[in-house]
C-alpha cells in the first residue's frame, strides 16, 4: 500500500451558496474529495475547504450588499487564495416564470430593459436595485476569477428567448459576460 506523501489543500469560494440543504454544492464537493482520498492510486490526499458565502448562512457577516464585503471577496479572488470559485447569484428578478403568465409576480425587467422596466413601484425599484448590485458583483467576481486563472463556475438560468409576456432579461445577455467569450466556456446543465 502506498502511503500519502502529502496533503493538498483545495480552497473553493462559493458565493451565493444559499441556505444549507441536502446535496448542496459543498456537500457534493466533500463527497468527491472523500472518494478521491479513498483511492489508493494517489500518493497525496486532498483537504477540501469550501467557504460558503450567503446571508442565509452567515448573517450580516455574509451580506454581499455591503460594498466592503464585496471588495474583500474580489480581493480574495485576485490574491489566489482559492483554487476555484462557484458563483450562483439570485435570479428572482430575472426568472422566466415572471414572463410565463399573469398568475404570479409580474416581470420587473426584460431584454429591452435589463436593469428594470419603467413605471415600477418604489418597492419593486428597491428590489431591482439590490438585485442589480448582486448581479454586478457576480459578474465582477466571474471576471476576476477568469483573469486569475482559477477554475470557475457561474450558475444562472440560461436565456431561452421570448416567453408569453415578453423576452426576459438574462445575465447571459450582459456585454461583460459576452466579452468573456474565448476566455471562458459556456455550457448548460439540466437541474
Report field, pTM of the whole predicted structure over 0.85: yes
Q: What angle do CA 82, 87, 93 make, to 5 degrees?
A: 160
User: What pLDDT was estimated at residue 1?
Assistant: 47
The mean pLDDT value of the chain amounts to 93
Q: Is 18 left (phi over 0), alpha (psi -120 to 50) or beta?
A: left
Region 130-147 average pLDDT: 98
Q: Residue 187: pLDDT above 90?
A: no
Instruction: Give the pLDDT confidence of 19-55 residue by residue, as tens digits.
Output: 999 889 999 999 999 999 998 788 889 999 999 999 9
pLDDT band at 5; cut points 50, 70, 90:
low
pLDDT band at 81; cut points 50, 70, 90:
very high
Amino acid at each position: 500500500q502506498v502511503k500519502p506523501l502529502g496533503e493538498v489543500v483545495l480552497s473553493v469560494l462559493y458565493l451565493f451558496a444559499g441556505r444549507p440543504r441536502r446535496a448542496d454544492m459543498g456537500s457534493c464537493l466533500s463527497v468527491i474529495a472523500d472518494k478521491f482520498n479513498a483511492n489508493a492510486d494517489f500518493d497525496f490526499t486532498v483537504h477540501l475547504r469550501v467557504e460558503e458565502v450567503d446571508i442565509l448562512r452567515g448573517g450580516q457577516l455574509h451580506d454581499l450588499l455591503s460594498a466592503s464585503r464585496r471588495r474583500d471577496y474580489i480581493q480574495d479572488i485576485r490574491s489566489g487564495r482559492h483554487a476555484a470559485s462557484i458563483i450562483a447569484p439570485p435570479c428572482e428578478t430575472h426568472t422566466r416564470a415572471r414572463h410565463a403568465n399573469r398568475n404570479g409576480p409580474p416581470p420587473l425587467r426584460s431584454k429591452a430593459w435589463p436593469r428594470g422596466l419603467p413605471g415600477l413601484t418604489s418597492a419593486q425599484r428597491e428590489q431591482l436595485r439590490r438585485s442589480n448590485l448582486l448581479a454586478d458583483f457576480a459578474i465582477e467576481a466571474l471576471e476576476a476569477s477568469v483573469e486569475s486563472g482559477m477554475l470557475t463556475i457561474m450558475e444562472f438560468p440560461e436565456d431561452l428567448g421570448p416567453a408569453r409576456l415578453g423576452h426576459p432579461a438574462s445575465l447571459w445577455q450582459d456585454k461583460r459576460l459576452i466579452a468573456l467569450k474565448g476566455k471562458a466556456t459556456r455550457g448548460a446543465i439540466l437541474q
